[in-house]
A and B are shown apart, each in its own frame.
Chain A
Amino acid sequence: MIGSLLAAEVCKPNECFAVPANIAFGIGAAFMIFSAIKVVTTKNIVHAALYLVLVLAGVGLNFLLLQAEFLAVTQFLVYIGAIVVLFLFGIMLTRAPLGVSDDLDNPKAKVGAIATALIVLAVMAGSLIASFKDTKLAFTAPNSVEALSDSIFSQYLIPFEMVSVMLLAALIGAIVLARKD
């Protein structure tokens, strides 16, 4: 519903234009990109985690813009609520250098990494623009939580169960790995 509010459109004679959604998207995208760059460049490891939180929140916002409310909430709860906390625990347990520290980056690899990242970006962007040029998001498919749950528990039931088993395995595995013996 909120998404539909945000997705309100302004229609011109030949084309409808969802202004607030786009503005929200633009601001969110700018935040996300800035935060992401900060995640990978900051010299403070805790700041990196916090910038990650911002990125993840931006992703949640994008979900909302795409009318996937359940997923947005899950993103906030799981990612920001649990995974970032895990990261913070990891930082703490590994006695990461708090505050500014200079050797969080590998200087030798910077050039190659930039090059690689730019290549990847170029390829993907090129192919995306070439394929999807001006395709609009139609929101024609059923998008509700109801449809989502129906799909999970009927069509994707087995993957769902597998994922739960996998989570169990990961849980046990993490305990086994990290216990002191």
Chain B
Amino acid sequence: MLHHVWIIPALCALSFVLTLMFGKRTPGRGHWIGITFVTAAFVLSLVTAGQWIQRSGDHVETQAQALADVDPSCSTTSAELAKSGGTDEGHGEKAAAGAADDGHSTEAAASEGEGHGAGAEKAEKEEHFSRPIVDCVHWFTSGGIDVTVGTMVDGQSVLMLVVVTLISLLVHVFSTDYVGGDRRYTHYFAFLSLFTASMLFFVLSENTLQMIVGWELVGVCSFALIGHWWEEKPNSDAALKAFITNRVGDIGLLVGVITLFFVSGSRFNILDINTAANEGSISHGMLRIASICLIAAVMSKSGQFILHTWLPDAMAGPTPVSALIHAATMVVAGIYMVARLYPVFFEGLQIGGSSVNLLVVVGSVTALFGALLGFVQKDIKKTLAYSTVSQLGFMVAALGVGAWTAALFHLFTHAMFKACLFLGAGSLSHANHHSFNMVDDMGGMRKVMPRTFATYVIAALSLCGIFPLAGFWSKDEILAGTGGWNYANGAYTFSMIMLLAAAFCTAAYMTRTVWYAFLGEYRGHHHPHESGPRITIPLIVLSVMAVIAGFANIPEGFRMGLPASWALKFEHIVEPVGIFFPGKEQGFTHAEFNGKLALVATLVGVLGIVIPLAFYYGKLPFLVNLSSRVKFFGFLKRILENKYYLDWLYTDVIVGFVKLPLAKATYWFNQNAIDGVVNGAGKSAAATGRWVYKYIDQGVVDGTVNTIGTVAGSSGEELRRSQTGHVQQYAALFFAAAALLAGVIVVVVGG
């Protein structure tokens, strides 16, 4: 399966085509096609994951053997490794267990002798090389460059395969109840399949061009699905806003990929770029430029601060779509991209050595500011959207401080509990006639919707980071990675403070939503009841995952008696080790588990739950109506309600400027300057033509011709007078002339 992993996205694409073409005629109006294929994709993803885990258990001695399954027509890393003799200690010939391969580079690798550089050091380290599998086919050739399309299977892609297909499957099942009877039911399911196919294509990409294709495809699917009910203008506006804001960042993606292509020696393959960046063969300046461009892409796709404005508006789409795309999968595409091209960022932004870099600043700011916005929302989905923004900030900050595994682990756990939260909100609104206004229409739902309540609370507690739920483990690993208070690297203290503040805010606004939606008395006008099994079973599955997912990466210091092989399992499976990933000599370290920090984080989370509960139950009277009593807080609240005036900046200032003054100026320029030049050229040509016509054509040319004619005529008139018609006159002239001629001849010839 590892070599045939392309089947998984192909299945989902096939599901898309079949649903579009035949969906309406199949039972269930198309959802069975989608569910079947996504189930198949999920099963195959589990199989692939199993094979990968087994593969990562088999160890090889040399770097070259580790790259034995990399097709040399896709990536030149293994070939270059063989060329430079990257094996070590020479006993690698037979030790490549499980390296099933069609004989591309094994001979080359095995025949080399000495090794030096990263490969040798790695072998001494008792770390085991990760063995990615890269397969490709030739796609097209342009300008002397062969572009391939193929798959790259390693821990990251396998993780994403499982997450995407699982959440997609659960969302498919949820949607059969939630959007049942919708005006475009079949179309919806078709696009769910297309999205799954696109996301899988993206995560399996083996080169940056494919990543761009996948990136754009998921953007298109997001647009289509957010605008699913486009007949209402706010929905289509939201879809456009999402797409256009993403477009702003996509420029960064393109420029970044192009820069990397040129500085890495005309290569698109991810392994090659990573190796080149990691070994130091690309200058730091160029890497920094590429990193900054790619960070722009991350900011738009993963909703980082200032380009996050599209995410809350994207909640106009159906809730399962929000769960799938804007919680679990699409928005993490940016995170995945940074994680994939990590050596570029690590070297370009000097993550290992510095105390501040763009990634960590962006991530920390997003985490805190996104979380702050969660306090002023009436819409439960918007609160969850800002929560997603904040958590994505966590992941980006994790990548920025060098905690690579922490970021991906948080991605994994976040997908579980955030999808559960969104689907829970969907369940709530399904019972409330599609209203998401938790302040006005909900309240006291725990009495009528116990299962929703239970799963929602479990997921919320996981998000807040309460021990021993999943969120605790992943969030704590991120905090440890920042190295604040002289823990671990000791470098990113400010980030740690901001992330802790964000964690407090996270707990606080989640408690707010639980209070408004589930606690207290019912404020709506409907008769809500618990949702059916197709809604609640995915909720239950996800909440179970939200509980146990954290145990995939138990830190070494916290094993508490569990077997040693259970510790850091996630890290061993997912984190790459090789010349294409930063290691010790690049300054890449893993944070140790720190009990004190874990305690502080848990305390912050608990406070974040307790204080708001106390406020809502009336125990903190001095905080009531603080914003209207104290002007400063009122001012802060207004800033939050206006979303930091970013939307005003984008829509009214920037776009407004372009629409009115800039467009008017451009129009004026076009009409007067450009058209003026063109018209002027035309007019002057016409005037020249008229002048030429009048003076030269009519005057000179025609004048000449007419004069000739007139001269001919008048001379003819004159000469005609000799034609008298009198024959004798003719005879006279004739005779005279003949006589004269004869005389001349006689005189001249005769002598």
Note whether A and B contact each other (Cβ less than 8 A). Answer: yes
On A, residues with C-beta under 8 Å from B are 106, 109, 112-113, 115-116, 119-120, 122-124, 126-127, 130-131
Q: Which of B718-751 contact A (CB under 8 A)?
A: 728-729, 732, 735-736, 739-740, 742-743, 746, 750
- Asked if residues A106 and B732 are in contact (CB atoms below 8 Å), the reply is no
Q: How far is the CB of B160 from chain A (nearest CB, A)?
A: 120
4 smallest A-B Cβ distances: which pairs?
A: A123-B743, A120-B739, A127-B746, A119-B739
- Asked if residues A116 and B750 are in contact (CB atoms below 8 Å), the reply is no
- Asked if residues B728 and A109 are in contact (CB atoms below 8 Å), the reply is yes
Task: Report the separation of the CA atoms of residues A77 and B728 in the bound assembly, to the nearest whole angstrom.
Answer: 30
Q: Which residue of chain B has the shortest Cβ distance to A126 in the bound complex?
A: B746
Task: Report the separation of the CA atoms of residues A130 and B747 in the bound assembly, to the nearest whole angstrom.
Answer: 10
Known A-B contacts A126-B746, A127-B746, A130-B750; the reply to A106 vs B728 at CB < 8 A is yes
Task: Report the separation of the CA atoms of residues A106 and B732 in the bound assembly, to the nearest whole angstrom.
Answer: 13
Complex A-B: 14 CB contacts under 8 Å: A109-B728, A109-B729, A112-B732, A116-B732, A116-B736, A119-B739, A119-B743, A120-B736, A120-B739, A123-B742, A123-B743, A126-B743, A127-B750, A131-B750
Given A115-B736, A127-B750, A130-B750; 10 other pairs, CB 8 A cutoff: A109-B728, A109-B729, A109-B732, A112-B732, A116-B739, A120-B735, A120-B736, A123-B740, A123-B746, A127-B746
B residues near A131, Cβ cutoff 8 Å: 750
B residues near A119, Cβ cutoff 8 Å: 736, 739-740, 743
Q: How far is the CB of A127 from chain B (nearest CB, A)?
A: 5
Q: How far is the CB of B732 from chain A (nearest CB, A)?
A: 5
Most buried by B among A109, A116, A124, A131: A116
Q: How far is the CB of A132 from chain B (nearest CB, A)?
A: 13
Number of residue pairs A-B, CB distance < 8 angstroms: 33
Q: How far is the CB of B736 from chain A (nearest CB, A)?
A: 5
Task: Report the separation of the CA atoms of residues A119 and B738 in the bound assembly, to the nearest whole angstrom.
Answer: 10
B residues near A116, Cβ cutoff 8 Å: 732, 735-736, 739
- Asked if residues A123 and B750 are in contact (CB atoms below 8 Å), the reply is no
Q: How far is the CB of A121 from chain B (nearest CB, A)?
A: 9
B residues near A130, Cβ cutoff 8 Å: 746, 750
B residues near A120, Cβ cutoff 8 Å: 735-736, 739
Task: Report the separation of the CA atoms of residues A120 and B728 in the bound assembly, to the nearest whole angstrom.
Answer: 16
Task: Report the separation of the CA atoms of residues A18 and B199 in the bound assembly, to the nearest whole angstrom.
Answer: 145
A residues near B728, Cβ cutoff 8 Å: 106, 109
Q: How far is the CB of B45 from chain A (nearest CB, A)?
A: 121
Task: Report the separation of the CA atoms of residues A127 and B746 in the bound assembly, to the nearest whole angstrom.
Answer: 7
B residues near A112, Cβ cutoff 8 Å: 732
A residues near B729, Cβ cutoff 8 Å: 109
Task: Report the separation of the CA atoms of residues A127 and B735 in the bound assembly, to the nearest whole angstrom.
Answer: 17
Q: Which residue of chain A has the shortest Cβ distance to B744 in the bound complex?
A: A123
Task: Report the separation of the CA atoms of residues A119 and B744 in the bound assembly, to the nearest whole angstrom.
Answer: 12
Task: Report the separation of the CA atoms of residues A11 and B736 in the bound assembly, to the nearest whole angstrom.
Answer: 43
B residues near A109, Cβ cutoff 8 Å: 728-729, 732
Task: Report the separation of the CA atoms of residues A34 and B728 in the bound assembly, to the nearest whole angstrom.
Answer: 23
- Asked if residues A113 and B732 are in contact (CB atoms below 8 Å), the reply is yes
A residues near B736, Cβ cutoff 8 Å: 115-116, 119-120
Q: How far is the CB of A106 from chain B (nearest CB, A)?
A: 7
Q: Which residue of chain B has the shortest Cβ distance to A113 in the bound complex?
A: B732
Task: Report the separation of the CA atoms of residues A106 and B727 in the bound assembly, to the nearest whole angstrom.
Answer: 12
Q: Which residue of chain B has the shortest Cβ distance to A130 in the bound complex?
A: B750
Q: Which residue of chain A has the shortest Cβ distance to B738 in the bound complex?
A: A120
Q: How far is the CB of A129 from chain B (nearest CB, A)?
A: 11
Q: Which of B108-136 contact A (CB under 8 A)?
A: none
B residues near A115, Cβ cutoff 8 Å: 736
A residues near B740, Cβ cutoff 8 Å: 119, 123
Task: Report the separation of the CA atoms of residues A82 and B742 in the bound assembly, to the nearest whole angstrom.
Answer: 35
Task: Report the separation of the CA atoms of residues A124 and B738 in the bound assembly, to the nearest whole angstrom.
Answer: 11
A residues near B735, Cβ cutoff 8 Å: 116, 120
Q: How far is the CB of A77 from chain B (nearest CB, A)?
A: 30
Task: Report the separation of the CA atoms of residues A123 and B732 in the bound assembly, to the nearest whole angstrom.
Answer: 16
Most buried by A among B736, B740, B750: B736
Q: Which residue of chain A has the shortest Cβ distance to B741 in the bound complex?
A: A123
A residues near B743, Cβ cutoff 8 Å: 119, 122-123, 126
Task: Report the separation of the CA atoms of residues A45 and B20 in the bound assembly, to the nearest whole angstrom.
Answer: 123
Most buried by B among A109, A115, A119, A123: A123
Task: Report the separation of the CA atoms of residues A70 and B65 in the bound assembly, to the nearest whole angstrom.
Answer: 141
Task: Report the separation of the CA atoms of residues A131 and B751 in the bound assembly, to the nearest whole angstrom.
Answer: 11
Q: Which residue of chain A has the shortest Cβ distance to B735 in the bound complex?
A: A116
Q: How far is the CB of A50 from chain B (nearest CB, A)?
A: 23
B residues near A124, Cβ cutoff 8 Å: 742
Q: Which residue of chain B has the shortest Cβ distance to A127 in the bound complex?
A: B746
Q: Which residue of chain B has the shortest Cβ distance to A121 in the bound complex?
A: B739
A residues near B732, Cβ cutoff 8 Å: 109, 112-113, 116
Task: Report the separation of the CA atoms of residues A106 and B724 in the bound assembly, to the nearest whole angstrom.
Answer: 14
Q: Which residue of chain B has the shortest Cβ distance to A115 in the bound complex?
A: B736
Interface 1/0s, chain B 245-280, versus A by CB < 8 A? 000000000000000000000000000000000000
Task: Report the separation of the CA atoms of residues A122 and B736 in the bound assembly, to the nearest whole angstrom.
Answer: 12
Q: How far is the CB of A45 from chain B (nearest CB, A)?
A: 17
Task: Report the separation of the CA atoms of residues A123 and B742 in the bound assembly, to the nearest whole angstrom.
Answer: 7
Task: Report the separation of the CA atoms of residues A106 and B742 in the bound assembly, to the nearest whole angstrom.
Answer: 27
Task: Report the separation of the CA atoms of residues A131 and B742 in the bound assembly, to the nearest whole angstrom.
Answer: 14
A residues near B742, Cβ cutoff 8 Å: 123-124, 127
Task: Report the separation of the CA atoms of residues A109 and B735 in the bound assembly, to the nearest whole angstrom.
Answer: 14
B residues near A106, Cβ cutoff 8 Å: 728
Q: How far is the CB of A171 from chain B (nearest CB, A)?
A: 25
Q: How far is the CB of B343 from chain A (nearest CB, A)?
A: 119
Q: How far is the CB of B418 from chain A (nearest CB, A)?
A: 126
Task: Report the separation of the CA atoms of residues A106 and B736 in the bound assembly, to the nearest whole angstrom.
Answer: 18
B residues near A113, Cβ cutoff 8 Å: 732
Q: How far is the CB of A130 from chain B (nearest CB, A)?
A: 7
Q: How far is the CB of B626 from chain A (nearest CB, A)?
A: 137
Q: Which residue of chain B has the shortest Cβ distance to A123 in the bound complex?
A: B743
B residues near A126, Cβ cutoff 8 Å: 743, 746
Q: How far is the CB of A105 from chain B (nearest CB, A)?
A: 11
Task: Report the separation of the CA atoms of residues A120 and B742 in the bound assembly, to the nearest whole angstrom.
Answer: 9
Q: Which of B81-103 contact A (CB under 8 A)?
A: none
A residues near B746, Cβ cutoff 8 Å: 123, 126-127, 130
Task: Report the separation of the CA atoms of residues A124 and B740 in the bound assembly, to the nearest whole angstrom.
Answer: 11
Q: How far is the CB of A8 from chain B (nearest CB, A)?
A: 36
Q: How far is the CB of B676 from chain A (nearest CB, A)?
A: 77
Task: Report the separation of the CA atoms of residues A122 and B740 in the bound assembly, to the nearest whole angstrom.
Answer: 10
Q: Which residue of chain A has the shortest Cβ distance to B751 in the bound complex?
A: A130
Task: Report the separation of the CA atoms of residues A127 and B743 in the bound assembly, to the nearest whole angstrom.
Answer: 8
Q: Which residue of chain A has the shortest Cβ distance to B734 in the bound complex?
A: A116
Q: How far is the CB of A66 from chain B (nearest CB, A)?
A: 25
Task: Report the separation of the CA atoms of residues A5 and B682 in the bound assembly, to the nearest whole angstrom.
Answer: 106
Q: How far is the CB of A56 from chain B (nearest CB, A)?
A: 22
Task: Report the separation of the CA atoms of residues A114 and B750 in the bound assembly, to the nearest whole angstrom.
Answer: 26
Q: How far is the CB of A131 from chain B (nearest CB, A)?
A: 8
Task: Report the separation of the CA atoms of residues A127 and B745 in the bound assembly, to the nearest whole angstrom.
Answer: 10
Q: How far is the CB of B744 from chain A (nearest CB, A)?
A: 9
Q: Which residue of chain B has the shortest Cβ distance to A106 in the bound complex?
A: B728
Task: Report the separation of the CA atoms of residues A113 and B739 in the bound assembly, to the nearest whole angstrom.
Answer: 13
Q: How far is the CB of A173 from chain B (nearest CB, A)?
A: 20
Q: How far is the CB of A9 from chain B (nearest CB, A)?
A: 33
Task: Report the separation of the CA atoms of residues A119 and B733 in the bound assembly, to the nearest whole angstrom.
Answer: 12
Task: Report the separation of the CA atoms of residues A126 and B744 in the bound assembly, to the nearest whole angstrom.
Answer: 12
Task: Report the separation of the CA atoms of residues A131 and B736 in the bound assembly, to the nearest whole angstrom.
Answer: 22
Q: How far is the CB of A38 from chain B (nearest CB, A)?
A: 20
Task: Report the separation of the CA atoms of residues A120 and B734 in the bound assembly, to the nearest whole angstrom.
Answer: 11
B residues near A123, Cβ cutoff 8 Å: 739-740, 742-743, 746
Task: Report the separation of the CA atoms of residues A21 and B743 in the bound assembly, to the nearest whole angstrom.
Answer: 32
Q: How far is the CB of A78 from chain B (nearest CB, A)?
A: 25
Task: Report the separation of the CA atoms of residues A121 and B732 in the bound assembly, to the nearest whole angstrom.
Answer: 14
Task: Report the separation of the CA atoms of residues A109 and B750 in the bound assembly, to the nearest whole angstrom.
Answer: 32
